[in-house]
Structure 1
Amino acid sequence: MADILHRVGITAPREEVFRALTTREGLADWWTRDTRGDGAPGGVLEFRFVPGGFDMKVLEAQPAERVLWEVIDAPAEWVDTRISWDLRTEGDYTIIMFAHRGWREPVEFMHHCTTKWATYLMSLKSLLETGKGAPAPDDVMISDWH
């Protein structure tokens, strides 16, 4: 198994970071504008991109602490992986410990997704610190895979 791991600090309260990770509006402002669903535990979030999408079952949404999704519909490499966001305060920062765990092997698509997660985490940081994120379709294109 292989994992994608990132750490980012954002100068915003944990409650604001949590809202951006659990509400349709928050997610649409930094990840993809085409976001549907319910970010509460037991809900399903649907994210659409060109050329496809991802559906996540929300396993946990502990206010200002942790968010955990299980990928239930997506490209084969993502299905049954888990995405977690652990939040803590460190000085003026909310620290996000991000993980996308359970990849069967580090295929080329995982390399691509590692870079894309980093760009989207920077979009989240920008949204919360400046009020403007860069969600798809306005995100950074890194290859013909988008």
Structure 2
Amino acid sequence: MFTIYHDFIINTSKEKVFEAVSTPEGLNNWWTLNSKGNPALGETFNLYFGEEYDWYTEITKFSKDKEIEFKTTIAMQEWLPTSFGFKLTEVKPSETYVRFYHKDWTEISQEYRQASFCWADLLRQMKQYLEKGIITPFEQRS
């Protein structure tokens, strides 16, 4: 199995970062078109990117303001059965170290490579959203 990793610092509190990666409103501001779900262990999240990409995940790890992991349950074939998550560590009161991963890829395929690139760009957009309040319109996101 293969894993995508991205580690970076966001200049805001871990509580704000956790909200951005665990709530529908937070996810909609940098990734999804419209997501729905309750941020809690075992809950189902709908990650909606349009009719063709109406995906579902289950929260398999959850520690408020510290860690969240989503296991993909309905998505394009290559994303099954991958999981992605965020581990947060407070460096300073307004500085958070983010360790992102997307694991359990069966091969280093074209989709894996594209996902790695897209995650890097989307995580950069999340950083801009949290640090500067910039929300990239959904149609312009990778």
Q: TM-score, normalised by structure 2?
A: 0.91
Name the CA distance, whole Å, in 1 between partners of 2:139 and 2:59. 24
Match of 1:13 in 2: 13
Match of 1:111 in 2: 113
SS in 2 for 1:112: helix
Q: How does 1:67-106 map to 2 (within 5 A)?
A: 67-91=68-92, 92-106=94-108
TM-fit CA distance, 1:28 = 0.6
Is 1:32–1:49's contact at 8 Å kept on the other side of the alignment?
Answer: yes
Bigger drift between 80-89 and 47-56 goes to 47-56
Compared CA separation, residues 135 and 117, structure 1 to 2 (3 A): farther
Name the CA distance, whole Å, in 2 between partners of 1:47 and 1:18. 17
Query: How many residues are paired up?
Result: 140
Match of 2:3 in 1: 3
Q: Which runs of 4+ in 1 moved over 4 A?
A: none
- Post-superposition Cα deviations, 1:48-73, rounded to whole Å, max 9, x if no partner, equal 22541321101122111111111111
1:128 to 2:130 alignment:
yes
TM-fit CA distance, 1:80 = 1.4
Match of 2:29 in 1: 29
Is 1:32–1:137's contact at 8 Å kept on the other side of the alignment?
Answer: no
Match of 2:64 in 1: 63
More helix by share: 2
SS in 2 for 1:137: helix
Identity %: 26
Q: TM-score, normalised by structure 1?
A: 0.88
Name the CA distance, whole Å, in 2 between partners of 1:77 and 1:134. 26
Name the CA distance, whole Å, in 2 between partners of 1:120 and 1:135. 12
Name the CA distance, whole Å, in 1 between partners of 2:89 and 2:80. 28
TM-fit CA distance, 1:135 = 5.5
